[in-house]
């Protein structure tokens, strides 16, 4: 229902307001007419409320007229229509009133004009109010848009559909891309994209404009953008078609996801390497058991009886082949980080110095080998054999990249890794690290190959000239030592590898004695409990130890070992157990059960790897005896004798 008009009527004739009310009612105009007869009443009414229309007689008593009332109304309510109604107004007075701002004038002798004039004035006033409100809403919307656009931390711009020219950019775009607003105003989208992407850009733009909901913010996908300094970034773009200053355009939001994409790639790479590592570690573990049996029986053939020269030669060939297979599995285990570490405090300078002669022979005469030692000690807590393997693999890799000769630079430094370094190499972490770097002047690495160089069996060498495990081994050993590997390379400009290992301030306790270096280990008559689930390997171990004079108890599972222990716990002198055991009990858990009953019982662990089952925190701590597979029978006898003689700390 339409609200009645509120009309303020300034008239000194007391009967005329009633006539006006009757005329309005006759024309169906609902109105409330408020009559006032003089200046005080008129001004009081203006102060009290807001009216839709004001009617005023031109000539009033007491020296007050319609022009004066008009000026007062313009001060108090300038948007309210003001109609002059008079019976004596002349043409000149009517023109004067209109010039002064009156909406219209009506002669009293023409009452039929009054209602249309009132209706028209009210409608025009309402239209003016609506227009002002729309303009105000538009202005507020533009201010809000400007606020959101200018202060948005994500780069935004508006571009022309036809020319692809930038029409507007926000502060974030200026800061992120490095161009000034003036530079942007002379550029198009083509200037920040590769030329090969332009056709796809135009095609997508056509699809966006023709979409069912063209004003809805639409994901335009991930595009490569180039900053002013030439840096390429990955950007997730969203577009929304708009009208901008009368032109068909699009509002664009460009979110830089370069770091996110890099982290996603690193996560996928880590997951892939972990999966490959699990496979490689499992294969190597099983293969080690087989190699131990092959190697052991070959040695028994050579030492038992008097084999013919031909048989001896075959046995030696078998033994050598088994040793080559063992070297391969050691690399697989290093990559998969499932070797049992034997860490001690080392100076990286000494590691490099001790390998100088061997490295010089490896690189040959046509390659210059340069060494740069750290002027201060470079201490790391690491497995010496593993670190030597890392250096050897990196130098061999460098040598193979320089078939025509060149230069290899080995450098040891102590580095403080800060946030600036991590921004370039996010795989690292902050702190003090010892860096072993190997730089060559070889052929370099192609960009397509760079993400794959640490994958096992990946190689760019000819068939038969590489296993593809060299750099995979480096990667695995660095990770097992809580470090990482960085590489920088370009085709034709050589390669630089940096292995970062945690700097250590621990005190060196001295190198452990290696019992396997003893010559002709002697046997004994002690009772040994052998726990091994692989029957061929268990048979070999028991056979050889029995040959050395020991008494043997054998079990294929942890549960069977506990049964034998219950019957012979006071007689057993040594427990030799595999770390990987079936029936939900591994060697470490078995040892903990036995040591709970007899804390001084001697334990010798043996396994192809341990981290898969006993946990990646398993390292060779003082007092823990460990014999890695595959092993030679003589080494088995030597370490067993050493354990029994308490030359090694007790387990």
* pLDDT value of position 610: 43
Of 345-359, 376-390, 635-649, minimum mean pLDDT range: 635-649
Pairing of strands 5-10, 53-57: parallel
Q: Confidence band (pLDDT; 50, 70, 90) for 486?
A: very high
- Structure-model confidence comparison of residues 510 and 381, the more confident one: 381
Query: DSSP letter string over 594-627?
Result: HHHH-TT-EEEEEES--HHHH-TT----TT-EEE
* pLDDT value of position 274: 64
Chain segment 76-101, per-residue pLDDT in tens: 898 899 998 887 767 777 788 888 88
* pLDDT value of position 577: 92
Would the pLDDT of 268 be above 70? yes
- Structure-model confidence comparison of residues 462 and 255, the more confident one: 255
Instruction: State whether residue 427 is helix, strand or coil.
Output: coil
Q: Confidence band (pLDDT; 50, 70, 90) for 509?
A: very low
* pLDDT value of position 433: 96
Would the pLDDT of 463 be above 60? no
What is the per-residue burial (b if ≥16 Cβ within 10 Å, else e) of 198-228?
eeebeebbeebeeeeeeeeebebeebebeee
Cα(621)–Cα(287) distance, rounded to whole angstroms?
A: 26
Cα(221)–Cα(568) distance, rounded to whole angstroms?
A: 71
Would the pLDDT of 289 be above 80? no
* pLDDT value of position 623: 47
Helix locations, 304-377, DSSP H? 309-336, 348-354, 356-363
461-469 long-range CB contacts below 8 Å, 24 or more apart? 461/400, 465/400, 466/400, 467/328, 467/331, 469/328, 469/331, 469/332, 469/335
Q: Confidence band (pLDDT; 50, 70, 90) for 373?
A: very high
- Structure-model confidence comparison of residues 300 and 643, the more confident one: 643
Of 170-184, 336-350, 408-422, 625-639, minimum mean pLDDT range: 336-350
How many percent of the chain have pLDDT more than 70? 83
- Structure-model confidence comparison of residues 107 and 485, the more confident one: 485
Would the pLDDT of 334 be above 90? no
* pLDDT value of position 277: 62
Cα(35)–Cα(13) distance, rounded to whole angstroms?
A: 10
Cα(155)–Cα(169) distance, rounded to whole angstroms?
A: 8
- Structure-model confidence comparison of residues 515 and 3, the more confident one: 3
Chain segment 361-372, per-residue pLDDT in tens: 888 888 999 999
- Structure-model confidence comparison of residues 28 and 268, the more confident one: 28
Of 58-67, 433-442, 543-552, minimum mean pLDDT range: 58-67
Mean pLDDT, rounded, for 479-506: 90
* pLDDT value of position 278: 64
The two tokens of residue 165 are 């020219």
The two tokens of residue 646 are 């308490």
Chain segment 41-65, per-residue pLDDT in tens: 898 999 888 899 999 888 877 778 8
β-partners of residue 574 are 528, 602
Cα(378)–Cα(483) distance, rounded to whole angstroms?
A: 15
Mean pLDDT taken over the chain: 82
- Structure-model confidence comparison of residues 295 and 177, the more confident one: 177
């Amino acid at each position: 229902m339409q609200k009645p008009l509120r009309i303020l009527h300034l008239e000194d004739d007391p009967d005329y307001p009633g006539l006006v009310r009757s005329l309005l009612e006759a024309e169906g105009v609902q109105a409330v007419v408020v009559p006032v007869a003089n200046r005080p009443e008129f001004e009081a009414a203006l102060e009290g409320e807001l009216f839709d229309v004001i009617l005023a007689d031109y000539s009033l008593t007491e020296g007050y007229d319609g022009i004066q009332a008009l000026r007062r109304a313009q001060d108090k309510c300038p948007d309210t229509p003001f109609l002059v109604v008079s019976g004596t107004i002349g043409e000149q007075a009517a023109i004067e009133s209109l010039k002064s701002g009156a909406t219209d004038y009506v002669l009293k002798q023409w009452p039929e004009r009054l209602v249309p004039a009132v209706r028209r004035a009210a409608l025009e006033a309402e239209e003016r109010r609506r227009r002002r409100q729309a303009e105000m809403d538009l202005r507020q919307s533009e201010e809000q848009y400007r606020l959101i656009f200018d202060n948005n931390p994500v780069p935004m711009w508006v571009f022309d559909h036809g020319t692809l020219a930038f029409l507007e950019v926000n502060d974030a775009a200026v800061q992120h891309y490095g161009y000034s607003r003036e530079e942007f105003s002379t550029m198009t989208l083509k200037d920040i994209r590769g030329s090969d992407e332009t056709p796809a850009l135009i095609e997508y733009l056509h699809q966006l404009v023709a979409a069912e909901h063209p004003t809805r913010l639409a994901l335009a996908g991930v595009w490569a953008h180039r900053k002013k300094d030439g840096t390429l970034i990955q950007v997730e773009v969203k577009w929304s078609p708009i009208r901008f200053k009368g032109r068909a355009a699009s509002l664009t939001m460009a979110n830089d996801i370069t770091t996110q994409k890099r982290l996603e790639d690193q996560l996928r790479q880590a997951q892939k390497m972990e999966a490959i590592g699990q496979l490689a570690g499992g294969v190597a573990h099983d293969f080690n058991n087989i190699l131990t049996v092959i190697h052991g029986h070959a040695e028994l053939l050579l030492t038992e009886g008097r084999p013919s020269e031909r048989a001896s030669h075959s046995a030696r060939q078998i033994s050598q082949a088994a040793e080559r297979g063992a070297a391969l599995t050691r690399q697989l285990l290093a990559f998969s980080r499932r070797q049992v570490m034997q860490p001690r405090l080392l100076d990286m300078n000494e590691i490099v110095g001790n390998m100088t002669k061997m490295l010089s022979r490896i690189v040959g005469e046509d390659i210059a080998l340069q060494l740069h030692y750290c002027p201060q000690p470079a201490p790391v807590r690491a497995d010496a054999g593993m670190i030597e393997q890392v250096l050897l693999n990196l130098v061999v890799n460098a040598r193979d990249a320089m078939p025509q000769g060149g230069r290899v630079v080995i450098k040891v430094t102590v580095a403080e890794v800060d946030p600036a370094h991590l921004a370039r190499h996010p795989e690292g972490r902050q702190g003090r690290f010892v860096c072993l770097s190997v730089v060559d002047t070889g052929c370099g690495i192609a960009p397509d190959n760079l993400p794959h160089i640490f994958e096992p069996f990946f190689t760019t060498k000819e068939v038969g000239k590489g296993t593809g495990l060299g750099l995979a081994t480096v990667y695995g050993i660095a990770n097992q030592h809580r470090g990482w590997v960085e590489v920088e390379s370009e085709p034709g400009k050589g390669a630089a590898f940096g292995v970062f290992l945690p700097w250590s301030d621990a005190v060196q306790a001295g190198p452990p004695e290696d019992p396997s270096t003893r010559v002709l280990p002697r046997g004994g008559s002690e009772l040994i409990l052998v726990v091994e689930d692989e029957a061929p390997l268990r048979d070999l171990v028991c056979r050889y130890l029995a040959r050395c004079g020991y008494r043997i108890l054998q079990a294929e599972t942890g549960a069977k070992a506990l049964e034998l222990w219950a019957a012979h716990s006071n007689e057993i002198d040594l427990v030799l157990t595999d770390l990987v055991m079936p029936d939900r009990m591994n060697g470490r858990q078995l040892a903990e059960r036995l040591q709970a009953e007899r804390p001084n019982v001697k334990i010798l662990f043996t396994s192809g790897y341990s981290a898969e089952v006993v946990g990646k925190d398993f390292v060779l701590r003082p007092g823990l005896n460990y014999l890695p597979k595959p092993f030679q029978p003589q080494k088995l006898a030597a370490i067993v004798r050493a354990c029994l003689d308490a030359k090694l700390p007790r387990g």
